Amino acid sequence: MNRKLIRPNLNEYKEKMSRETAKKKTHPASETFAENYYYLKQMNKKTHVSIVFLDGETTDGVIEWYDRNCIKLNRNEAPNLLIYKRSLKYIYKLEDTNMDVAEKKGRAKSTEKKE
Are 63 and 53 in contact by the 8 Å Cβ rule? The answer is: no
73-79 mean pLDDT? 94
Give the torsion sign (CA, 91, 93, 95, 96). Answer: positive
Which sequence spans correspond to the domains of the chain? 34-114
Q: Would the pTM of this model clear 0.75, i.e. be above it?
A: no
Encode pLDDT of 30-69 as tens digits: 788 899 999 999 999 999 999 999 999 999 999 999 999 9
Question: Which of these CATH numbers, 3.40.50.2020, 3.40.50.150, 3.20.20.140, 2.30.30.100, describes 34-114?
Answer: 2.30.30.100
Residue burial 13-33, b: 16+ Cβ < 10 Å; e: rest = eeeeeeeeeeeeeeeeeeeee
pLDDT at 98 over 80: no
Phi, psi (deg, nearest 5) at residue 114: -65, -30
